[in-house]
Amino acid sequence: MGTNEVVGHSEQRWDAIAKVKGQAQFTGDFPFKNLLYGKILRSTIAHGRVESYDISEAEKVPGVVKILLPEDLPQNKYSTAGHPWTLIPEKQDIRDRTILTRDVRVYGDDIGAVIAKSELAAIKALEKIKVTYKEYPVYITPQQAMADDARRIHEERDNVLASSKVGFGDVDKSMAEADYIIRENLSTSVQQHVHMENQIAVAYQDADQRWTCVSSTQIPHICRRIIAQAVGVSWSKIRVKKPFIGGGFGNKQDAVVEPLVVAMSMACNGQPVQLALTREESIAYTRTRHAIDYNFAIGVKKDGTITAIDCDVISNQGGYASHGHAIGGKGGTFINAIYKMDSLRYTAKTVYTNIATAGAMRAYGMPQVVFALETVMDDAADKIGMDPIDFRMMNRRPDGFYNAMSNVKQINFKVGECLEKGRKEFEWDKKMAASKQYKTGVKRRGLGVAAFSFGTAVYPFGLEVAGARLILMPDGCFKLMLGSTEIGQGADTALSQMAAEAIGVPFKNIIRDSFTDTDIDPYDTGAYASRQSYVTGFAVKEAAEKIKAKILTRAAKMYDVRTEYIDIIDGNIIYMPDGERLATLEDIAMSSYFDMKDGKTITAYSSVNIHQTTYASGCTLAEVEVDMETGRVKLLSIMNVHDSGKIINPLIANGQVEGGMAMSIGYGLSEGIRYSKEGRPLNNNLLDYKLPTTMDLPKLEHAFVETDDPLGPFGNKSLGENPTVSPAPAIRNAVKNAIGIGINTLPLSPENVYEHIQAQQKGDVQNV
């Protein structure tokens, strides 16, 4: 009652027209008077210490305003990681960096900065700065960095920055009970986010002498805190404003440029300074997906029962801690979430090296662990001769499973339904049969599947708060204020639909802009962990219910009826006993603004702290054709099936799924930053970093097992990151199915596949 069913409809994104017409303003679009341009002086070694700078020639470049060395800026140690703050010191992120540094830990480290009146002058000056270094050994891999004689990358801390062990049961005993133990080594690549809009921020001093940072950030409120910590001011002295954003995928969940640009403005008496990374800088010197090495074993009985899983993880952190161990350490819970086993052991280490700092990236560790799990699962199914879908079906956790490792009951957990729907809609059995004729010759075909479980938001691991404010306008529209972050994913449209639904008005009655401002917008930690439609959704729902109650109270008084007899339906106040319209919402709104006697404007605010989560799941099915002569993998067809509860906006959900699939296909087939042994990134551009284009992709098929999740604010659960989890392992398994070789290193580039084929033909690898 009172609903006009806005949720579930493919409403057009509120910003669609603006983006087509060019009216959506991104950080770089805002004109500033007397804008200065900052550029970062980057180290040309990966490990060492700057011994001297010679800036004399650089200072002479016309237009140069300031050249900053590490000692010119605040020396506070901070972390760039965009986690919600915690009051528990041992849970706080590792503060292992200063804004600029003489201690070089990665190639391209921030060892200085130039501020000039033009970008060109800044670049010219950079070129004229002479730096001498003392060089240290470079560690590309965790194994190098963990060697006994390895030098500490951070003096105050071991190169193993964290280690952990979780699980249950007696793994050794359970392994002994297995008929087969499949143990494999796997490794994933250094993927880059490659968001359309590079990192960019502008900082200036405000009229009240505080500091504003306009930034393309996923986490305005968290960013405020990080900047304040880095520059050493009280937190409210910083104001972060977020305009439209051209994607982030987790890279903008780190405050990579913001502390420096604020410090630059501070060094220039508050004049506005812009710091915009180039594509090359963004690829090579920001954050990446952690490359993780797995030693992964599954004990399995002939009947398909899994007795034990034993997983040892070594995560390559790169030069700075950033999100650190949170990524490598989290996999155990999700292995337990999806499959049955008697015992589980999950040990993990996160290790500093001298490659680019790894941080948050869409699905936050899940693509790695699911690649490992689904690879070994698939090989186990092969070992006992079971259909890989059947094997997963028989071992899947049932709906309602209590996951003791996260203390969460997995209500409404539909991975089985996803596998079944996928098998049917992908025509798995028909395609599998058809592919049998392509197991010889140059072009070989095969099918693969991979499944996954996925959390929603960060509870119970972290704080989950969100806020929403609604303001009734005189004409019956509502301004919706949020601290959550629209980064291109459509969050603002989905959250506006939720507000409209909960109040009882058409979608067009909700006014939203995409400009988040930490001074005035409700506190919300931002865009990550597929949390916003869930956690912020609760805040929107609560604020909507509050403002609705206030409106109905006022209407009841105005029309002398009992509050419980009236409701808001499609923007009208309806007297429910006879269904007649008592008034329009505008009538109530106008009275609230302009009634001489008791005109008082109506607003509502909610701040929610969510102590629950809900597990989503899904799977990918893929068919590939492998060219035995070139190693090239052609993706013939692919389908994702998602168990994400209620789909708030099918159109936007489709976009999320297709984008996520493309990202995981790139992960599976082509992407990865390569490093020279000196730690220099070798493919820091869009020509050499092989991002799939639309030309490289088949039709991205997908389906939903749509449910009304009882734990979701509107029946929904996570979806934003989920699509990027399972395509890569499904492709890996399809390649194995095609050519009989299980490749355990990502990406399955032509080079990688070709080498495996060559090795097999030479007898160097064992056929599965």
Residue 470 CB, nearest approach to a copy of itself (Å): 11
Other C-beta atoms within 10 Å of 94: how many? 21
Decide if residue 583 touches a copy of itself (CB under 8 A).
no
User: Among residues 6, 14, 268, 620, which is the contact residue for a copy of itself, using CB under 8 A?
Assistant: 14
In the complex, the smallest distance separating the C-beta of residue 157 from a copy of itself, rounded to whole angstroms, is: 25
d(CA 416, CA 706): 13
Shortest distance (Å) from residue 218 CB to a copy of itself: 19
CB of residue 300 to a copy of itself, shortest distance in Å: 39
State yes or no: residue 758 binds a copy of itself (CB under 8 A): no
Q: Which one of 9, 12, 18, 680 is in contact with a copy of itself (CB under 8 A)?
A: 18
Considering only residues 7, 11, 15, 350, which one is a binding residue for a copy of itself as defined by CB under 8 A?
A: 15
Beta bridge partners of 403: 408
Which SS3 state, helix, strand or coil, does residue 417 take? Answer: helix
Query: Does 270 sit near a copy of itself (CB under 8 A)?
Result: yes
Query: Is 511 or 703 the residue whose CB approaches a copy of itself more closely?
Result: 511
For 31, residues 6+ apart whose C-beta sits below 8 A from its C-beta are none
Q: How far is the CB of 594 from a copy of itself (least distance, A)?
A: 5
Please give the Cα distance from 516 to 526 (Å, whole number). 10
Q: Which of residues 168 and 593 has its CB atom nearest to a copy of itself in the complex?
A: 593
Subset of 590-609 contacting a copy of itself (CB under 8 A): 590-591, 593-603, 605, 607-609
In the bound complex, what is the minimum distance in angstroms from residue 278's beta carbon to a copy of itself? 22
Q: Does position 17 bind a copy of itself by CB under 8 A?
A: yes
CA distance 768 to 765: 9
List the structure tokens of 671.
């992407």
- What is the distance of C-alpha 517 from the center of its chain? 21
**Residue 232 near a copy of itself by CB under 8 A:** no
Please say which residue, 520 or 759, places its beta carbon nearer to a copy of itself. Answer: 520
Distance CA 624, CA 626 (A): 6
Q: Which is nearer to a copy of itself, 297 or 539 (CB)?
A: 539
Does position 520 interact with a copy of itself (CB under 8 A)? The reply is yes
**Which of 384, 394, 471, 703 is the binder for a copy of itself (CB under 8 A)?**
471
State how far the alpha carbon of 397 is from the alpha carbons of 366, 575, 641, in Å.
18, 48, 17
Q: Which of 54, 57, 475, 764 binds a copy of itself (CB under 8 A)?
A: 475
Nearer to a copy of itself, 465 or 616 (CB): 465
CA 13: distance to chain centroid?
Answer: 21
Instruction: Quote the DSSP letter at residue 154.
Output: B
**Is the Cβ of residue 117 or residue 443 nearer to a copy of itself in the bound state?**
117
Asked if 473 interacts with a copy of itself (CB under 8 A), we say yes
> Residue 180 interacts with a copy of itself (CB under 8 A)?
no
Instruction: Please report the beta strands in 188-249, taking only residues with DSSP state E, as ranges in sequence order.
Output: 200-205, 211-215, 238-242
How many CB atoms are located within 10 Å of the residue 180 CB? 15
**Cα Rg for the chain, rounded, in angstroms?**
27
For the CB of residue 711, give the shortest distance to a copy of itself in the complex, in Å. 19
Q: Is 683 in the site for a copy of itself (CB under 8 A)?
A: no
**CB 653 to a copy of itself: min, Å:** 22
- The nearest distance, CB 591 to a copy of itself, in angstroms, is 7
By the rule CB under 8 A, 557 interacts with a copy of itself = no
Q: Does 26 bind a copy of itself (CB under 8 A)?
A: no
Closest separation between CB of residue 439 and a copy of itself, Å?
Answer: 54
- Quick one: three-class SS letters along 262-282? HHHHHHCCCCCEEEECCHHHH
Bridge partners, 313 (sequence order): 294, 348
| Contacts (CB under 8 A) with a copy of itself, residues 89-148 | none
Does 234 participate in binding a copy of itself (rule CB under 8 A)?
Answer: yes
Q: What span, in angstroms and rounded, lies between the C-alpha atoms of 603 and 473?
A: 9
CB count within 10 Å of CB 547 equals: 25
Helix (H, G, I), strand (E, B) or coil at 395: helix
Question: Pattern 629-668, binding to a copy of itself, x per CB under 8 A?
Answer: ----------------------------------------
Q: In what order do the strands lie in the sheet with 238-242?
A: 64-68, 110-116, 36-42, 273-276, 200-205, 211-215, 238-242, 516-517
**Angstrom distance (rounded) from CA 161 to CA 164:** 11
Please give the size of the binding site for a copy of itself, defined by CB under 8 A: 64
The sheet carrying 700-704 orders its strands as 443-454, 616-627, 633-643, 700-704
Minimum CB separation from a copy of itself for residue 453, in Å? 24
One residue of 206, 580, 688, 751 binding a copy of itself per CB under 8 A = 206
Rounded to whole angstroms, how far apart are CA atoms 73 and 267? 8
Phi-psi group of 560: left, alpha or beta (phi > 0 → left; psi -120 to 50 → alpha; rest → beta): left
Q: In the complex with a copy of itself, which residue's Cβ is closer, 30 or 168?
A: 30
Q: Which stretch binds a copy of itself (CB under 8 A): 10-18, 120-128, 303-311, 736-744?
A: 10-18
Determine if 367 is a binding residue for a copy of itself (CB under 8 A).
no
* Residue 29 lies near a copy of itself (rule: CB under 8 A): yes
Nearer residue to a copy of itself within complex by CB, 598 or 688 = 598
577 binds a copy of itself (CB under 8 A): no
Whole-number minimum distance, CB 613 to a copy of itself, in Å?
Answer: 14
Tokens of residue 489, six digits: 């994913």
Sole binder of a copy of itself in the list 87, 149, 155, 437 (CB under 8 A): 87
Q: Does 210 bind a copy of itself (CB under 8 A)?
A: yes
- Which one among 10, 12, 49, 84 touches a copy of itself, defined by CB under 8 A? 84
Cα–Cα dist 452/183, whole Å: 20
Contacts 24+ apart (CB under 8 A), 438-444: 438/625, 438/738, 439/738, 439/740, 441/628, 442/627, 442/628, 442/629, 443/625, 443/626, 443/627, 443/628, 444/625, 444/626, 444/628, 444/738, 444/739
Does residue number 24 form part of the binding site for a copy of itself (CB under 8 A)? yes
Residues at the interface with a copy of itself (CB under 8 A): 14-15, 17-18, 21, 23-25, 29, 31-33, 84-87, 205-210, 225, 234-236, 244, 270, 463, 465, 467, 471, 473-475, 477, 479, 481, 511-514, 519-520, 522-523, 590-591, 593-603, 605, 607-609, 611
